[in-house]
C-alpha cells in the first residue's frame, strides 16, 4: 500500500549526508572553493558563482544582464518550468514569450526569431528533461539581432550537445542541484560566466547557520522517504506539493551552503552513474514503445545526447487520457507543466505584448513523463509500457 514510484530521483547516500552534516556544523573543511574549481574545469567557465538554488541564480543572472544591457525585457519559452518565470518576475523584468516546438521541445524557430526581431536583447533557453536544443542555430540567430542568451541547464545533468555538456554553451549558464535534478546537494545552484561577462557579479553573502542545518535535515528526510517503498507517505501530504507544478515567488539570491557543497562533492560519482542508468532505461522504454500507436515521441536532434532526467512523451489527453491515471501515478508517470507561462498572473502582468503559443499549449495538454532513474526495475518498466500502450 505504501509503494509508489518516484517520478524523478537523485542519488543521496548516508556518507554524503554525514559529510553535509559535518560541514553544516563547521567540523569539516569548506569545500565550496573546490566545487567552484571543478565546475570551472568541467564547464569551461571563467567565473562561477554559487547560489542557494538554481532559481536564485537565474534571477541574479537575468537582473545582472538586463542592467548591463540597459534594457528591461527578457524572452522566455512559453512552455517551461514555472521557476523560470518566477526568476524573471523576481528580477523585475518585462517578459516576452516565444513558442516551443512540441516535436523537439526546442524553441520554435519562427517564434524565436520573431521575438528577437522585436528588439529583445536577452533570452533564456531551457532544454527540457535533458533534451539538448540546437544551440548553434540559436546562437547564430541571437548574434544577428545582438541578443545575449542565458543557458538554463537546470535539467541538463548528463546531457551533451556535440560532445559538450549542457551548462557549457552560453555566455551565461545556470545549473541547479535541487531535489530530482540528477545531481543534488539538497539545494543549490550556480551561474557560470564567460567572456566579457566574467567578473561582472560578486558572490552573495554567506548562508545563515540555520540554513546550513536545514540542508542537512532536508537531505536526511529525502533519503529516508525517497524510495518506492515509502514515497506514498509524503506524496499523500498535499502541503508538500510533490509532483505538482505550482508557481512560487523566487527568493532573494543567497549563497550556497557548506552542507550542500559537501553533499554535491560526495554524490558526484553516483550522479554520473545515475545518468548512465537513466539513458539505459530511456533507451529500453523507447524500444518497447515504438510499436504503440498514438504516442508522440520527442525527436532527438543530430548532435544531441539527452540526459533523460525523465522521458517525455505526448499522449492524447495527457495524464487523464491514460487508461488508469491513478495506477500511472503509482508507477511514477507524471504530468508535465499544466499550462503555458502566459496563464500565470505574475507573468501576464509583465507580458510585453500579446501572442499565441500553440506548441506550448499542445504540450500543456498532452505531455507526460516516464521515470527513467535507477529505482525503476524491469518488472515496473514492463508495467509502465503495458499501461501506456493500451
Q: Which three cell numbers stand for residue 114?
A: 520573431
Q: Residue 3: inside a domain, yes or no?
A: no
Q: Per the structure, how many domains does the chain have?
A: 1
Nine-digit cell string for 41? 574545469
C-alpha cell belonging to residue 232: 506514498
Can you give the pLDDT at residue 257? 96
**Is 1 among the domain residues?**
no
Question: pLDDT value at position 236?
Answer: 75
Buried b (16+ CB within 10 A) or exposed e, 229-247: eebbebbeeeeeebbeeeb
Tell me, yes or no, whether 8 lies in a domain.
no
User: Which CATH number characterizes residue 30's domain?
Assistant: 3.40.640.10
DSSP label at residue 260? H
pLDDT tens, N- to C-terminus, the chain (390 residues): 568 999 999 999 999 999 999 999 999 889 999 999 999 999 999 999 999 999 999 999 999 999 999 999 999 999 999 999 999 999 999 999 999 999 999 999 999 999 999 999 999 999 999 999 999 999 999 999 999 999 999 999 999 999 999 999 999 999 999 988 999 999 999 999 999 999 988 888 877 778 899 999 999 999 999 999 888 887 777 665 666 788 999 999 999 999 999 999 999 999 999 999 999 999 999 999 988 888 999 999 999 999 999 999 999 999 999 989 999 999 999 999 999 999 999 999 999 988 899 999 999 999 999 999 999 999 999 999 999 998
Identify which of 388, 342, 337 has the alpha carbon closest to the alpha carbon of residue 363: 337
Task: Provide CB contacts within 8 A for 376, sequence distance 6+.
Answer: 5, 281, 332, 384
Distance CA 239, CA 219 (A): 19
pLDDT for position 390: 82
Residue 7 lies inside a defined structural domain of this protein = no
CA end-to-end span of the chain, whole Å?
24
5 occurs within a structural domain: no
**379 in any annotated domain:** yes
Q: How high is the pLDDT of residue 266?
A: 97
- Evaluate whether residue 121 is within a structural domain: yes
Question: What gap in Å lies between CA 85 and CA 68, rounded to an integer?
Answer: 20
Joined grid coordinates for residue 241: 506539493
CA dihedral 187, 10, 242, 365 (to 10 degrees): 110
Report the b/e string of 290-328 with b at 16+ CB within 10 A.
eeeeebbebeebeebbbbbbbbbbbbeebbeebeebeeb
Show Cβ contacts of residue 31 under 8 Å, excluding neighbours closer than 6 positions: 23, 258, 261, 262, 265
Instruction: For residue 255, give the nearest of 220, 209, 199 by alpha carbon.
Output: 209
Q: Which domain holds residue 122?
A: 14-389
- Is pTM beyond 0.85? Reply is yes
Amino acid at each position: 500500500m505504501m509503494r509508489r514510484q518516484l517520478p524523478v530521483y537523485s542519488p543521496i547516500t548516508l556518507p554524503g549526508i554525514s559529510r553535509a552534516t559535518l560541514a553544516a556544523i563547521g567540523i569539516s573543511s569548506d569545500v565550496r572553493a573546490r566545487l567552484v574549481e571543478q565546475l570551472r574545469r568541467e564547464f569551461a567557465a571563467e567565473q562561477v558563482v554559487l547560489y542557494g538554488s538554481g532559481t536564485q541564480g537565474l534571477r541574479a543572472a537575468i537582473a545582472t544582464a538586463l542592467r548591463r544591457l540597459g534594457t528591461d525585457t527578457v524572452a522566455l519559452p512559453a512552455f517551461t518550468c514555472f521557476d523560470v518565470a518566477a526568476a524573471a518576475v523576481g528580477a523585475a523584468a518585462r517578459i516576452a514569450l516565444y513558442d516551443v516546438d512540441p516535436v523537439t521541445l526546442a524553441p520554435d524557430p519562427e517564434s524565436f526569431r520573431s521575438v528577437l526581431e522585436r528588439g529583445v536583447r536577452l533570452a533564456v533557453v531551457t532544454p527540457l528533461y535533458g533534451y539538448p536544443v540546437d544551440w548553434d542555430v540559436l546562437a547564430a540567430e541571437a548574434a544577428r539581432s545582438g541578443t545575449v542568451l542565458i543557458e538554463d541547464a537546470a535539467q541538463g545533468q548528463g546531457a551533451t550537445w556535440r560532445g559538450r555538456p549542457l551548462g557549457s554553451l552560453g555566455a551565461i549558464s545556470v545549473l541547479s542541484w535541487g531535489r530530482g535534478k540528477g545531481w543534488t546537494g539538497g539545494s543549490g545552484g550556480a551561474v557560470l560566466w564567460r567572456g566579457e561577462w566574467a567578473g561582472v557579479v560578486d558572490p552573495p553573502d554567506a548562508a545563515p547557520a540555520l540554513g546550513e542545518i536545514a540542508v542537512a535535515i532536508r537531505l536526511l528526510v529525502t533519503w529516508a522517504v525517497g524510495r518506492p517503498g515509502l514515497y506514498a507517505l509524503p506524496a499523500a501530504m498535499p502541503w508538500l506539493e510533490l509532483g505538482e507544478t505550482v508557481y512560487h515567488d523566487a527568493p532573494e539570491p543567497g549563497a550556497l551552503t557548506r552542507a550542500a557543497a559537501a553533499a554535491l562533492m560526495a554524490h558526484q560519482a553516483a550522479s554520473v552513474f545515475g545518468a548512465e542508468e537513466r539513458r539505459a532505461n530511456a533507451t529500453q522504454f523507447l524500444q518497447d514503445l515504438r510499436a504503440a500507436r498514438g504516442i508522440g515521441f520527442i525527436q532527438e536532434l543530430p548532435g544531441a545526447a539527452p540526459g533523460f532526467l525523465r522521458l517525455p512523451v505526448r499522449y492524447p489527453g495527457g495524464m487523464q487520457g491514460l487508461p488508469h491515471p491513478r495506477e500511472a501515478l503509482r508507477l511514477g508517470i507524471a504530468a508535465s507543466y499544466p499550462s503555458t507561462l502566459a496563464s500565470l498572473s505574475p507573468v501576464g502582468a509583465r507580458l510585453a505584448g500579446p501572442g499565441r503559443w500553440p506548441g506550448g499549449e499542445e504540450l500543456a495538454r498532452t505531455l507526460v513523463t516516464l521515470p527513467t532513474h535507477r529505482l525503476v526495475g524491469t518488472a515496473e518498466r514492463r508495467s509502465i509500457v503495458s499501461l501506456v500502450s493500451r
